[in-house]
Each structure stands twice: as structure tokens, then as C-alpha cells.
Amino acid sequence: MKNFTGIFLIGLSIIIAYTNLQNLPENILTYILVIILISFPLYLTGHLLRCTFKIFKEKVILWSAAYAFVALLIPLLFFSYTHYEQLKSTTFNDHFILFESTSSVNGGGISLGCMLLLLLFVSIRLFSSDIRRKWIPNLIIVVTLIAYGTSLYVLWEDYRGIHADKGLITNKWNGVEESIPWENITRIYVDPYVHYASLSDTSDETHISWAMVIESYSNEDVLYRFQNLSEDGLHKANQIKEIAQHKNIPFLITNMTEDERKWYEFELDLENLPKEPFHVFFNIK
């Protein structure tokens, strides 16, 4: 019974720590107090219940490090990443119909990759008891942490989007801004396609997607992808369509193949989306 209660308290302490993230960053004092006064004591009490006091004394430092890793470092790093993206969107997303927080497809993967590497190296340092030269993983952790912070700083002003008044805007990390006004856009077309699930990624699923390709006089085609059907995505696409019609820019829809139509109908039913607005946009009869 003590073992079960101990495991329950350990799990409860982790849940409290993760739930406590909602106090950040506005109520940081509350966050600290919940960790110190509630979550961490529950965690230690759980371990104390499930083992002898002698074993507890021998392993309390290791268990504390594991708590710091699982209940603090992992959620705080992911919180910093997601809050960074939200703050960036709030700061720069002014009259943008579509806004992406990086100017290139792989831009956002740099910071995320650094963060995942940091978690990997910290876990190796904490839980590998046979490391002889501990200064090596310590150095790697410091370098990776610096790389993560640097990537967030460097990519702060790196974004792109479709602006309601200014057209296409791309602001790169090195300060170079590229823009294509609506007057220079020659054609916009929407191309539905089926995104097939990757065999190497168990979380990936086959679903209908669609790309919006924007052509202009002197620049390469600009591509925006909509990963699935959603009312928000449809609303944004209709806003772009209205601007195109107002400025006499051809707005074309590629007809769906039989396979694309099947997945399109399936996702509408699966997500319980209103069919008529989507049929009108995609010219479905």
C-alpha cells in the first residue's frame, strides 16, 4: 500500500508541476512557491514511502536531479519555446492575414533542435553513472544552452507573411526585408493535395492539405501550405481571395482528383466542418 501511495504522490507532484506552468510568466512568485512548498515535497514524500530511509538518503540527490529534469527543465524549455513563438506573433503580426514565425521552412527547426539536444545531453549527464570525464558533457551542455539562446535572439526578427495592405513580406534574420506589393502579384492559385503519412513517423496521418502559390512579375513563386481543413484557414484564404478579386488578380482553384476528393469529404465529416463554405471555396459542385 505504501508503494502504491508513494507512486501516486510522485505522479501527482509531476502533474502539479506541469499545471503550475500556467502561472508563468505573470505570477512567477506563485510558480516558485507551488514548486517549493507543494510539488517537490510531495515528490520526496512519495519516494520516502516506497523505500527505506537508508535508500532514500543514498538516492535523494539523484531523485532530486530527476525531478528537476522532468518537472522543471523539460516543461520550462518547452514553455520558453512556445511563449517565444506567441510573443513573436503578438509583436509582429500586425494586419497580417497569414503569419509564419520564420522566413524559411527549416528556420524554426534550429531553435527546436538546439532545445532537444540540450535535453538529450542533460539526461545523459544526469543518468549515466559511468561517465569518466564529466567536464565533457558539462561543456557540451553549456555550449548547447548558449546555442539555443543565441538562436532565439538571432531569429527574433525572422518571419514572413501575407499583409492585408502591403502584400507579401519576408523579413530575414540578417535584417534583409523583401516585399512584393499586391500590384506586382500576377496570379494566385490553390492546389489541393493528399499528405500521405510517413512510415517512419507514427504520429503522422494521411489527410487532405492544400497549398497556396503566389506568382509575381519578378520574384520566384511564394508558397504557403495549409496542413488540413479548418474554418480559420478557410477564413484567411477567403480574405486573400477577396483582396485578389478587388485588385483584379486571377485567383484559381485546381480541381481535386478522385483520391483528393475522397480525403476531402472524409476530413470534413471527421472534423464536423460545415461543408457549404468549403465547397464554395474549392468549387465543389
Check pLDDT > 80 for residue 13: yes
Mean pLDDT across 118-130 = 84
Give 18-73 pLDDT, tens digit per residue: 998 888 878 889 999 999 999 999 999 999 998 888 888 888 988 998 999 988 89
Beta carbons within 8 Å of 184's beta carbon, 6+ residues apart: 167, 216, 217, 218, 219
163, pLDDT greater than 90? yes
Residue 107 predicted with pLDDT over 80: no
Residue that is written with C-alpha cell 497569414 in the block: 98
* DSSP state string for 50-67: TS-HHHHHHHHHHHHHHH
Q: How far apart are CA 160 and CA 162, in angstroms?
A: 7
- Least reliable range by pLDDT among 111-115, 155-159, 164-168, 201-205: 201-205
pLDDT greater than 80 at residue 219: no
Domain residue extents for the chain: 1-68, 93-179, 181-281
Task: Please state at what angle helix 107-127 crosses helix 53-67, rounded to 10 degrees.
Answer: 170
The predicted model scores a pTM of 0.76
The predicted model gives 173-187 an average pLDDT of 90
